[in-house]
Structure 1
Amino acid sequence: MNSKTKNEKSHSAEEASAFQNNALEQQYGGGHAGGWVGRLPSSWVPYVQLTRLSPPAALFLIYFPHFFGVILAAIIQRSPVSQVLRASLIMLGGSFFFSNAAHGWNDLIDAPIDKSIARTSKRPIPRGAITPRAAFVFTATQAIGAASFLLLMPEGSGIYAIPNIIGTCYYPWAKRHTNFAQLVLGFCLAWGIIMGSCAMGLKPFTGGPFGGVDDNGWKQLFWAEPSIASLFLASILWTVIYDSIYAHQDIKDDIKVGLKSIAVLFRDQTKPLLWSLLGCMIALLYTCGNLLNMGIPFYIIAAGGSLLSLGAMIANVNLKESASCWWWFRYGFWLAGGAIAGGLLSEYDS
């Protein structure tokens, strides 16, 4: 009986692992075609796969920080609900097109490498479902679509998008140049907080090339509104945490092809680093709340929720198993992002 039970458990574990790996290959490996995607014209499906729209995790990776910026600015300015809803919808539309453009650009640059990595070899460009020329045209049209939403934002907001555009264009090469590509990605995603603040008419910088001028007509020192800066840095660390876990899926292939990442640099010592980063992230969320005298619900929901969700992810993920990394990445970022958004909303509603 014991032997039979052990065999059944082993078989079940193998089935679960195979299922998770299949889901991983479909959803981020470029092969997802079920659900609503299956109802689309066949010529559209590769573009949905290219942009990671099913499931829409990639879209919300980009939208969450924009939403954080909108709500934080609303808290600072005591903005009406109508303004918050308008800015949130503008950020959602812009995030949709920006996400499409960013993923198209990333896959276009990474296509030669993706061919040699098992998990990514079936993405639309490596497998030939989308030609590089078609991918470039698609990416350009999506970038134009994203830029059009800047016209709906307060005057002068466009200049704030420039650092993010530069960072996003560079990111595919960052994986070749530095082990800290996750920091580059974190900067690009967290910049959504800056754009969300701009959408609410709040200039996030108090000085420097993006900031204001003092009473004597002199440029102030380059700095950001402290609470925005704290949330911005916390969001960078949030990205570094979940993307480092995500990067462990391909660590063996990355080493073979010469790609760099925090996962490649730290390998078996990644978890101690992630615990340190999580501590810094929680401290920054606390600082953000303290600077604006936020109520207890913000600390419980945003800081406490992030600590529990990301702490559970770091503690339980098996970095040597791709399926485990995918599972915790997939659910861990949703929980932490929802916690931060919920904490900010609790303060805005109070």
Structure 2
Amino acid sequence: MSDTQGNRRRWYDCLPSSWVPYMELCHISTPAPIFLIYFPHLYGVIYAAIVRNSPVAEVLHMCSVLLTGTIFFSNAAHAWNDLIDAPIDKMIRRTKNRPIPRGAISPLSAFIFALIHAFGAACHLLVLPRDTAICTLPTVLGTTYYPWAKRHTYFPQVVLGFCLAWGAMVGASAMGIQQPWTKGTAICLFLACLFWTVMYDTIYSHMDLEEDIKIGVKSMAVYFQGKAKLLLWFVLVCMISSLILCGNMVGLGRQYMVTTVGGCLASQAMIVQMVDLKDPQNCWWWFANGFWVTGGLIAGGLVSEYVIRSV
């Protein structure tokens, strides 16, 4: 059973029954888990393409390479996370039916599965510049540590934000930006992605708030309980400020400012205002739907700028 889909039929239910637990382990009943990782890579690619005036063929090639690599990495990361989280997942209603806690997959099988997909992701580095392969190390190390973050700190959302947002650096590096982490524009794009992740994952973490408090799981939802909306408004200001700075430093025009900056401000403000942090289903709805809207707006503004400059 999926964490959120109840008894609704999933696309992979038509596969052999022995395969289904592994599909659940990947969390791919929808493409959202893949795009949580892929979107920052895409933003980095388009940002670099704008800066370097890259040809369309090169952009499409790199987007496709990073997408297939992301699929493997996503599968490995989710399997690893579920493996380490299995003792906690057993104690939470929403997650107790995940494949490892319910015994559908053994811990050893999950570990081997994660290794195989990590190897698949690593193979994609062979077609990327050497500097880009090195650039992926912070993401790999951060993702490896992330399952323990909720045991060590009240800010696992920041750890996750770093892991996902670093994809913008990887995407920029793949398109030829040397050491993008030294460029102010890339840093602003990275920070915007980090703040965005903190926002949607803080909302997501409210789904299990009461049980997390009982069993001692740490999160920003736990730390800021009762004041989380104030936190979300503050993080939203940081996110929009980062997007504006990135746009100004690159010299992006009206399309970016209206679509990405204005659109993200409107969509994220509506989410913060409307989400009921005390209602797990409401938190899920705004997380699942708001993610696609905001992610699409960031991509849309960057792509429109690239297209206009390429014409």
Q: Residue type matched to 1:227 in 2? A: T
Instruction: Write out per-residue CA displacement over residues 269-312 of structure 1, whole angstroms, 9 at most, x where no aligned residue.
Output: 00011001101110110100000111111011001111111111
Q: Which residue of 2 aligns with 1:213?
A: none
Give 1:83's match in structure 2, choosing from 49, 58, 77: 58
Give 1:240's match in structure 2, choosing from 198, 207, 223: 198
Instruction: Write out per-residue CA displacement over residues 88-147 of structure 1, whole angstroms, 9 at most, x where no aligned residue.
Output: 001101110110011000000000110000000000100011110000000000100011
- 1:38 aligned to 2:16? no
Q: Secondary structure at the match of 1:112?
A: helix
Q: Residue type matched to 1:284 in 2? A: S
User: What is the root-mean-square deviation of aligned Cα atoms in Å?
Assistant: 1.3
Q: Which residue of 2 aligns with 1:220?
A: none
Q: Which residue of 2 aligns with 1:93?
A: 68
Do the aligned partners of residues 309 and 238 (structure 1) sit closer, same or farther apart at CA in structure 2, a change above 3 Å counting?
A: same
Q: Which residue of 1 aligns with 2:123?
A: 148
**Quick one: distance in 1 between partners of 2:171 and 2:18?**
34
Give 1:335's match in structure 2, choosing from 290, 293, 297: 293
Q: Which residue of 2 aligns with 1:175?
A: 150
1:101-180 matches, cutoff 5 A: 101-180=76-155
Give 2:227's match in structure 1, choosing from 269, 279, 282: 269
Moved over 4 A (4+): 29-33
Do the aligned partners of residues 190 and 32 (structure 1) sit closer, same or farther apart at CA in structure 2, a change above 3 Å counting?
A: farther
1:203-214 matches, cutoff 5 A: 203-205=178-180
**Quick one: distance in 2 between partners of 1:236 and 1:80?**
28
- 1:50 aligned to 2:25? yes
Give 1:226's match in structure 2, choosing from 146, 161, 184: 184
| Structure 1 stretch displaced more, 146-155 or 240-249 | 146-155
Give 1:279's match in structure 2, choosing from 212, 237, 240: 237
* Cα contact 2:155–2:219 (8 A) shared by 1: yes
Q: Which residue of 1 aligns with 2:209?
A: 251
Q: Residue type matched to 1:281 in 2? A: M
Instruction: Write out per-residue CA displacement over residues 156-197 of structure 1, whole angstroms, 9 at most, x where no aligned residue.
Output: 321111111110011000000001100000000001101111
* Cα contact 1:62–1:189 (8 A) shared by 2: yes
Cα distance, 1:27 vs. partner?
3.9
Cα distance, 1:32 vs. partner?
6.8
Q: Secondary structure at the match of 1:28?
A: coil
Q: Secondary structure at the match of 1:136?
A: helix
Cα distance, 1:31 vs. partner?
6.6
Q: Which structure has more RCO (C-alpha within 8 Å, separation ≥ 6)?
A: 2
Q: Residue type matched to 2:84 in 1? A: I
* Cα contact 1:30–1:123 (8 A) shared by 2: no
Structure 2: gaps of 5 or more residues: none
Do the aligned partners of residues 302 and 32 (structure 1) sit closer, same or farther apart at CA in structure 2, a change above 3 Å counting?
A: farther
- 1:294 aligned to 2:252? yes
**Quick one: distance in 2 between partners of 1:287 and 1:156?**
26
* Cα contact 1:230–1:285 (8 A) shared by 2: yes
- 1:68 aligned to 2:38? no
Cα distance, 1:47 vs. partner?
1.0
Q: Residue type matched to 1:334 in 2? A: W
Q: Residue type matched to 2:65 in 1? A: I
Identity of aligned residues (%): 53
Q: Secondary structure at the match of 2:257?
A: helix
Q: Which residue of 2 aligns with 1:184?
A: 159
**Quick one: distance in 1 between partners of 2:7 and 2:160?**
24
Q: Residue type matched to 2:141 in 1? A: I
* Cα contact 1:33–1:45 (8 A) shared by 2: no
**Quick one: distance in 2 between partners of 1:34 and 1:47?**
16
What's the TM-score once normalised by structure 2's chain length? 0.96
* Cα contact 2:2–2:98 (8 A) shared by 1: no
Instruction: Write out per-residue CA displacement over residues 172-223 of structure 1, whole angstroms, 9 at most, x where no aligned residue.
Output: 0000000110000000000110111122122234xxxxxxxxxxxxxxxxx5
* Cα contact 1:32–1:49 (8 A) shared by 2: no
Q: Secondary structure at the match of 2:292?
A: helix
Structure 1: gaps of 5 or more residues: 1-25, 206-222
**Quick one: distance in 1 between partners of 2:30 and 2:280?**
18
Q: Residue type matched to 1:278 in 2? A: L
Larger gyration radius, structure 1 or structure 2: 1
Q: Residue type matched to 2:77 in 1? A: A
